[in-house]
Amino acid sequence: MTAGRRALVTGAGSGIGAACVDRLLSDGCRVAAVDLHAGDMADRAGELEAIHEVDVTDAAAVRAIDGIDEVDIVVQSAGVVGPNVPLLETPADEWERTLRVNVTGIFNVMQATVGGMVERGWGRVVNIASIAGKEGNPNLGAYSTSKGAVIAMTKSLAKELATTGVLVNSIAPAVIATPMNLATAPEVLDYMLSKIPMGRLGQPEEVAALVSWLSSEDCSFSTGACYDISGGRATY
């Protein structure tokens, strides 16, 4: 049960983040939503504990979120796809931006939230990575690198906190039907879909169901794991 727990979801305005908000609300959590475009969530103000328009790459802005050190559950879905070009043609500024959002953003939020969880002896962190972080997708070198870093960072912190009551896990989805992915170049989307034995895109609600368990007390002996939700693409 997670009823009454305080949850913070980044990238909450659409896609996986929005589905996680819905699922955690249905689980009885009090949910604060963080997004770069918080105006998109204005109609949800009555459901949510708070809505914060914050760039997760800005560590000071993250730390300034009201109640950031009182959060019990953190779900990190904020991210960008980055440049769709061969690695050797990737512009340095786009490489740096992709890692800043997808890696440093997660680092910033964990630094601001996890200390309070450790003090209280209970917490759950779920970082959204990607199957690309395990296998690498061609022409998405910055994205693949960033998601591999998320998996490694999750494992590292989980080992540091293993006896504190704070569990830190990641999820590696294959391509999910989100606005971010549906805006991907058709040939890239077709490539990713061809790798999925189920032959379909995953749905945000399917990812949110896994996040729900990882955020709960029922998840009690799993930390530092990377859970595949890939329609059969991952075979290890």
Half-sphere exposure of 233 (CA within 13 A, CB side): 27
Q: Order of strands across the sheet with 73-76?
A: 50-53, 30-35, 6-10, 73-76, 123-128, 166-173, 226-229
Q: Tens digit of pLDDT for each residue in 166-209?
A: 999 999 999 898 887 767 778 877 887 888 999 898 999 999 99
* 143 noted as active-site residue: yes
Helix axes 141-160, 105-120, angle to 10 degrees: 20
What is the per-residue pLDDT for 164? 98
Q: Which residues pair with 10 in a beta bridge?
A: 34, 76
What is the per-residue pLDDT for 234? 82
Q: What is the pLDDT confidence band of residue 49, given thresholds at 50, 70 and 90?
A: very high
Average pLDDT over residues 201-229: 97
Q: Identify whether the C-beta of residue 234 lies closer than 8 Å to the C-beta of residue 178.
A: no
Average pLDDT over residues 151-161: 98
Q: Tens digit of pLDDT for each residue in 30-42?
A: 999 999 998 888 8
| Backbone dihedral region for residue 15 (phi beyond 0: left; psi -120 to 50: alpha; all else: beta) | left
What is the per-residue pLDDT for 170? 98
Q: Tens digit of pLDDT for each residue in 99-115?
A: 999 999 999 999 999 99
pTM recorded for the entire structure: 0.94
Among the listed residues 143, 191, 227, 236, the single catalytic one is 143
Domains of the chain by start residue, with CATH = 6-229 (3.40.50.720)
What is the per-residue pLDDT for 236? 66
pLDDT at 97 over 70: yes
What is the per-residue pLDDT for 179? 80
